[in-house]
Structure 1
Amino acid sequence: MCGIAGLYYPGTPKPVDPARVRAMADAMAHRGPDGSGVWTAPGVGLGHRRLSIIDVAGSPQPMASADGALTIVFNGEIYNFQALRRELVARGWAFRTEGDTEVLLAGWSTWGPAMLDRLVGMFAFAIHDARANTLFLARDRLGVKPLYYVSLADGAFAFASELKGLLAHPLLRRMPDVTAVEDYLAYGYVPDDACIVAGVKKLPAGHFLLIERGRPIPAPRSWWDISFADRAPGSTAVLEEELLAHMREGVRSRMVADVPLGAFLSGGVDSSAVVALMAEQSPRAVKTCTIGFTVADYDERRHAAVVAERFATEHRERVVDAEDFALIDTLVHAFDEPFADASALATWQVCALAREQVTVALTGDGADEALAGYRRYRFHAAEERARGLLPAGLRTRVFGTLGRVYPKADWAPRPLRAKTTLLALAADGAEAYAGAVGVTTPALRQSLYTDAARRALGGHRAEDRYIAAMRDAPARDSLDRAQYADLKIWLPGDILTKTDRTSMAVSLEAREPLLDHRLVEFGARLPAAMRLRRGEGKWLMKHAMERYLPRETLYRPKMGFVTPVSTWFRGALAAQGAALARSRTLAGTGWFDLDRLARLAEAHRTGREEHGRTLWQFVMLEKSLARLFG
């Protein structure tokens, strides 16, 4: 795993200062502590920070082709590089190194952009072609690896693996984008089609950008998309074996490394499945690690220990305080943009624990999105059935009226908190699902904005992104549409960003075998009942894993990394929640009604209302804005 950065002048090929490129790359030294390199030529400069995983002693970057025409900087891993290498050797290529980077150079020379369809892996890379006078940038299908870019005042096109790489360039104009703040408050993260720094963009997952000197910078082009439009034929037994084959291959291909390798083990279905399949294919004991919490309701160590014992793993665990929020500033630095998924605290801790013994760790990320594991899919399916019982107009009048008059009883037992459900039933499915994946509701956001913020937003509403994705999804039913939107928005924006930044912060490479694109494509073709059956998500996967894992592991309620932010803002962080209303950083934006924010914090502290996640969002936003913009 690595960090990449570069400058390219698409107009006049101005000279590039190597020190400037080096500063951009060195700002991401945590992504690559094992080596660095800079290469410049008229109108272009490429920088690299290396975390050595494959061909540890070779494959330095930036890497040039034998004839010097092509130069690449590459972040990621190509898991099928050996097969591609054999194919290219058969075509006459002679390789000087043993890694995957040189395979990309030969692949680009042979196939051009069509090379991307042949790649199995996670990646973001840039290739400069001196003969064609082009710069080619590409990002993997699902967005495992990040890539930011911006056009600068001197005509340069700049790119980097993380925003901090661009921030190291003195010509980057730092202005916050209020539409990204709207997106962040809605979701808890800044989605991939937005950035907190105005003018900065992220190359979307499954897209490439080909810049030709002398021509305007074009829009990115999609080279891959997921489709739920078709259904796989076959019996349950046949589809189960096919799913297992994809899972095994995803794990096998991601166990190739020239450095110590292990796995995260929470004791949940996904990480346990990965460990089971690793143990099946490894001649040595798999190294596993888990984080436990001092609060029993959040502690999964017992479940992880059952799996570790079953597969005789070399298991390590560490207990951390569920009340430990001392990592806030560490996370703000790691993420650059505001990020309010509080499970990032625990994810950072398990990454740090793993890094003590391994350089590569396999995770269980992606199965919930690919195979319908989230509880919200079950709720969405139930709501869709209820919507089908009444005509849209009548449904809107009945449930809408009930939802408006029903009290918002945050203090009440969950079965009595019906207001949200009633309002969701009054809306159409996409609108309701967009609200279900959110953190701070549109109504609450509007109440916190000033008139100036509302004018600056110009009608931009974060939920419309989800609604459009679900409306345009290549899909057959509502479950398809919800999964499609999550794979395009939630997965790269939240889950993969969280794993990339926390793992890279401690120089650990995290790999996601359950996000092998062939497995994801297969999952999208499964009949809906094979994904969600009788309220059980990931049904076929769990059924298939019954031969490996105990039923308690497979069918116990999902926990995940839970962080008690609501409790914090009624206790140790209560003063910090109240202090938000006096924040000079937030006041300086002119975007927020700080008196309203003060009342919100007080209502939460006293237990009258539930706003813990919103307060956490504002704490992280304030710290990010202060760090980025002063």
Structure 2
Amino acid sequence: MCAIAGIFHLPTPKPVEPQRVERMCASMAHRGPDGAGVWTGPGVGLGHRRLSIIDLAGSSQPMASSDRRAMLVFNGEIYNFRELRAELRAAGAQFHTEGDSEVILAAWQRWGPACVERLHGMFAFAIYDLAERTLFLARDRLGVKPLFYAVLSDGSLAFASELKGLLAHPLLRREVDPLAIDDYLAWGYVPDHRSILAGVAKLPAGHSLLLRHGQPLPAPRQWWDVSFAERRSGSAADLEAELLHLMRQAVASRMVADVPLGAFLSGGVDSSSVVALMSEAGRDPVKTCSIGFDVAALDETSYADRIARQFGTEHRTRIVSPDDFGAVDTLAAMFDEPFADASALPTWRVCQLAREAVTVALSGDGADEALAGYRRHVFQHGEDRLRRLLPHGLRRSIFGTLGAVYPKADWAPRPLRAKATFQALALSSEEGYARSIGIVPPELRATLYSPEYLARRGDYRAEQVLVDLMAGAPARSGLDKAQYADLKFWLPGDILTKVDRTSMAVGLETREPLLDHRLIEFAASLPENLRVRRAEGKWLMKRAMRRYLSDDILFRPKQGFVTPIAQWFRGPLAETARSVGSSSALARSGWFDSHRIARLADDHVSGRSDHGRLLWQLVMLDKSLKILGLSV
């Protein structure tokens, strides 16, 4: 894993100062502690920070092609590089290293921009073609690896693996995009179609950019998408066998490394499945790690210990206190943009533990999105059945009324928490799902904003982007559309951003075998009853893994990393909660009604209401603005 950065002069090939590229890379040194390099040519500069994983002695970057006609900087891993190297060598390509970077260059020489379609892996890379005088930027299919870019005041385009790389360039305009605030409050992160900074873009997952001197900046080109429009035929047993083959293939391909390799192990279905298949594929015991909490209700280490014993792993556990609020400033600095997924804290802690023993760790991320493993998928599946039975007008009348009068009962048993379900049933499938995965609904956001911000926002509504994405999805059903939205919107914006930043902060490479694109494409074609059956998600995967895992592992209630933010804001962070609306950055912005926020904070601290998640969002926004020194 690495960091890349660069500068490309769009209008004319003006010289690039190497020191500027060096500063951009230096700001991301945590991503690549093992080496650094910069190359400049007429109108272009490329920089790289390296975390050595494969071909430790060779494969330094920026790397030149064998004929010196192209230069590469690359962040990620290509899992089929050995097969591609054999194919390319048979076609006449010459190789001087044992790594995957040179394979990308040879693939570019043979196939040009279409080379990305041959690459299996996670990547963000830039290739400058000296003969064509073009810069090619590409990002992997699912968006595992990030890539930010911006056009600067001198007409150049700068790109970097993290926003802090762009912030190291003196010409970057530090002005907040006001619409990003509505996006952030709606979702808890700034999604990939926007950045916290006006003028900064994120190359979308599965997209590329081809830039030429003297030509305007083109729109990104989509080179990969996933379709839910087709359905596989065949018996459940045959499809189960195919799924298991794809999972084995994905895990084995991600076990190639010249450094110590291990896995995260929570004791849940996904991480346990990965560890089981790693144990089957390898000769040596798998190195696994888990973190537990000193609060029994939050601790899952007993399940992880069982899996570790079953598969004979070299297992390490560390018990941490969930009261880790002292790390909030450090966490905010990792993400640059405001990021309010509170599970980032324990994710960072487990990455720290893993890095003590390994340099590469496999995770179970992706299975829930690909195979319908979230509770919201089960609800969406059931709600859409009811939507098909009742006309929209009747649903809106009945369930809209029930949703308005039913109390919000977060404290109640799950069957009695019906308010959100009633509200969703009154809406279309797309609008209902957008509400189910959002954090602060539009009607509450409107009460938080100042009149000045509401005027600037106009009629923009953060949910509409997701609604439009689902409406245009290559899909047959509401469940299809929900999973498509998760893969294209939620996964790159939240889950993969969280794992990338927290792992890279400690110099750890994470790999997600259950996000292998062949597995994703197969899962998208499964009949709905093989994804969700009898209110159980990931049905076919759980059936396939029964040969490895017991039912109490496969079918126990899902529990993710928990951070007790509600308790923090009633205890050690109570004063932080009370002051957030009047703190310097948020108060100076003029975006919010400070009196309204103060009342919400008082209600939470006193225990009258639970506004923990909202307060966490506001605190993380405030800290991000302060750390970045952004103008508003």
TM-score range, shorter chain: over 0.9
Q: Please tell me whether the aligned partners of residues 179 and 457 of structure 2 are also in contact (alpha carbons under 8 angstroms).
A: yes
Aligned residue in 2 for 1:604: 604
CA distance in 2, matches of 1:317, 1:156: 48
Aligned residue in 2 for 1:118: 118
- Aligned-partner SS, 1:127: strand
Structure 1 residue 452: Cα displacement: 1.1
Within-5 A mapping of 1:456-475 = 456-475=456-475
Deviates more, 1:58-67 or 1:140-149: 58-67
Structure 1 residue 563: Cα displacement: 1.2
CA distance in 1, matches of 2:246, 2:121: 14
Per-residue Cα deviation, 1:562-601 (whole angstroms, up to 9, x for no partner): 1111122222222211111221110111100010001111
Check 1:331–1:462 CA distance in 2 against 1; reply closer, same or farther (3 A cut): same
Structure 1 residue 607: Cα displacement: 2.5
Structure 1 residue 417: Cα displacement: 4.0
Q: Supply the AA of the counterpart residue of 2:565.
A: V
Structure 1 residue 391: Cα displacement: 1.4
- Aligned-partner SS, 1:274: helix
CA distance in 2, matches of 1:497, 1:279: 28
Aligned residue in 2 for 1:58: 58
Q: Please tell me whether the aligned partners of residues 411 and 610 of structure 1 are also in contact (alpha carbons under 8 angstroms).
A: no
Aligned residue in 2 for 1:281: 281
Per-residue Cα deviation, 1:321-376 (whole angstroms, up to 9, x for no partner): 01212221111111000000000000000000000010000000000000000011
Unpaired runs of 5+ residues, structure 2, are none
Q: Please tell me whether the aligned partners of residues 10 and 213 of structure 2 are also in contact (alpha carbons under 8 angstroms).
A: yes
Q: Please tell me whether the aligned partners of residues 580 and 619 of structure 1 are also in contact (alpha carbons under 8 angstroms).
A: yes
Aligned residue in 2 for 1:389: 389
Q: Supply the AA of the counterpart residue of 2:278.
A: M
Aligned residue in 1 for 2:200: 200
Within-5 A mapping of 1:77-96 = 77-96=77-96
Structure 1 residue 411: Cα displacement: 5.4
Q: Please tell me whether the aligned partners of residues 381 and 478 of structure 2 are also in contact (alpha carbons under 8 angstroms).
A: yes
Aligned length: 630
Q: Please tell me whether the aligned partners of residues 364 and 512 of structure 1 are also in contact (alpha carbons under 8 angstroms).
A: yes
CA distance in 2, matches of 1:411, 1:530: 33
Unpaired runs of 5+ residues, structure 1, are none
Q: Supply the AA of the counterpart residue of 2:589.
A: T
Check 1:607–1:413 CA distance in 2 against 1; reply closer, same or farther (3 A cut): farther
Structure 1 residue 408: Cα displacement: 3.8
CA distance in 1, matches of 2:619, 2:395: 39
Aligned residue in 1 for 2:135: 135
Structure 1 residue 409: Cα displacement: 4.5
CA distance in 2, matches of 1:370, 1:98: 33
CA distance in 2, matches of 1:384, 1:40: 55
Q: Please tell me whether the aligned partners of residues 406 and 419 of structure 2 are also in contact (alpha carbons under 8 angstroms).
A: yes
- Say whether 1:190 aligns with 2:190: yes
Aligned residue in 1 for 2:219: 219
Aligned residue in 2 for 1:613: 613
Aligned residue in 2 for 1:263: 263
Per-residue Cα deviation, 1:300-334 (whole angstroms, up to 9, x for no partner): 10000000000000000000001212221111111
CA distance in 1, matches of 2:531, 2:598: 44
Structure 1 residue 190: Cα displacement: 0.6
Check 1:531–1:414 CA distance in 2 against 1; reply closer, same or farther (3 A cut): closer
Q: Please tell me whether the aligned partners of residues 581 and 592 of structure 2 are also in contact (alpha carbons under 8 angstroms).
A: no
Aligned residue in 2 for 1:179: 179
CA distance in 1, matches of 2:169, 2:162: 13
Identical columns (%): 65
Aligned residue in 2 for 1:442: 442
- Say whether 1:517 aligns with 2:543: no
Structure 1 residue 43: Cα displacement: 0.4
Check 1:358–1:332 CA distance in 2 against 1; reply closer, same or farther (3 A cut): same
Structure 1 residue 610: Cα displacement: 2.0
Q: Supply the AA of the counterpart residue of 1:398.
A: I
Deviates more, 1:568-577 or 1:413-422: 413-422
| TM-score calculated relative to the size of structure 1 | 0.99
Deviates more, 1:10-19 or 1:500-509: 10-19
Structure 1 residue 98: Cα displacement: 0.7
- Aligned-partner SS, 1:193: coil
CA distance in 2, matches of 1:292, 1:502: 18
Q: Please tell me whether the aligned partners of residues 373 and 538 of structure 2 are also in contact (alpha carbons under 8 angstroms).
A: yes
- Aligned-partner SS, 2:389: coil
Q: Please tell me whether the aligned partners of residues 176 and 629 of structure 1 are also in contact (alpha carbons under 8 angstroms).
A: no
Aligned residue in 2 for 1:595: 595
Q: Please tell me whether the aligned partners of residues 141 and 225 of structure 1 are also in contact (alpha carbons under 8 angstroms).
A: yes
CA distance in 1, matches of 2:60, 2:202: 26
Per-residue Cα deviation, 1:50-107 (whole angstroms, up to 9, x for no partner): 0000100000100011222100000000000000000010011110111111111110
Aligned residue in 2 for 1:75: 75
Aligned residue in 1 for 2:555: 555
CA distance in 1, matches of 2:61, 2:337: 28
Q: Please tell me whether the aligned partners of residues 577 and 615 of structure 1 are also in contact (alpha carbons under 8 angstroms).
A: yes
Structure 1 residue 426: Cα displacement: 1.0
Check 1:158–1:95 CA distance in 2 against 1; reply closer, same or farther (3 A cut): same
- Aligned-partner SS, 2:547: coil
Deviates more, 1:395-404 or 1:286-295: 395-404
Q: Supply the AA of the counterpart residue of 1:447.
A: T
CA distance in 2, matches of 1:337, 1:362: 26
Aligned residue in 1 for 2:428: 428
Aligned residue in 2 for 1:210: 210
Q: Please tell me whether the aligned partners of residues 420 and 436 of structure 2 are also in contact (alpha carbons under 8 angstroms).
A: no
Q: Supply the AA of the counterpart residue of 2:555.
A: Y
Check 1:409–1:308 CA distance in 2 against 1; reply closer, same or farther (3 A cut): closer
- Aligned-partner SS, 1:76: strand
Check 1:507–1:283 CA distance in 2 against 1; reply closer, same or farther (3 A cut): same
Structure 1 residue 429: Cα displacement: 1.3
- Aligned-partner SS, 1:388: helix
Per-residue Cα deviation, 1:199-226 (whole angstroms, up to 9, x for no partner): 0000000000000111111000000000
Structure 1 residue 410: Cα displacement: 4.9
Structure 1 residue 407: Cα displacement: 3.6
Q: Supply the AA of the counterpart residue of 2:301.
A: R
Q: Supply the AA of the counterpart residue of 1:132.
A: E
Structure 1 residue 416: Cα displacement: 4.3
- Say whether 1:322 aligns with 2:303: no
Q: Please tell me whether the aligned partners of residues 203 and 220 of structure 1 are also in contact (alpha carbons under 8 angstroms).
A: yes
Deviates more, 1:125-134 or 1:379-388: 379-388
| TM-score calculated relative to the size of structure 2 | 0.98
Q: Supply the AA of the counterpart residue of 1:521.
A: E
Q: Please tell me whether the aligned partners of residues 142 and 205 of structure 1 are also in contact (alpha carbons under 8 angstroms).
A: yes
CA distance in 2, matches of 1:419, 1:233: 38
CA distance in 1, matches of 2:426, 2:110: 55
Aligned residue in 1 for 2:623: 623
Aligned residue in 1 for 2:234: 234
Q: Please tell me whether the aligned partners of residues 149 and 159 of structure 2 are also in contact (alpha carbons under 8 angstroms).
A: yes
Q: Supply the AA of the counterpart residue of 1:625.
A: L
Check 1:415–1:281 CA distance in 2 against 1; reply closer, same or farther (3 A cut): closer
Per-residue Cα deviation, 1:187-244 (whole angstroms, up to 9, x for no partner): 1111011000110000000000000111111000000000001111110110001000
Structure 1 residue 381: Cα displacement: 1.8
Per-residue Cα deviation, 1:462-483 (whole angstroms, up to 9, x for no partner): 1111111110010011110000
Aligned residue in 1 for 2:544: 544
Per-residue Cα deviation, 1:387-410 (whole angstroms, up to 9, x for no partner): 233211111112112222334455
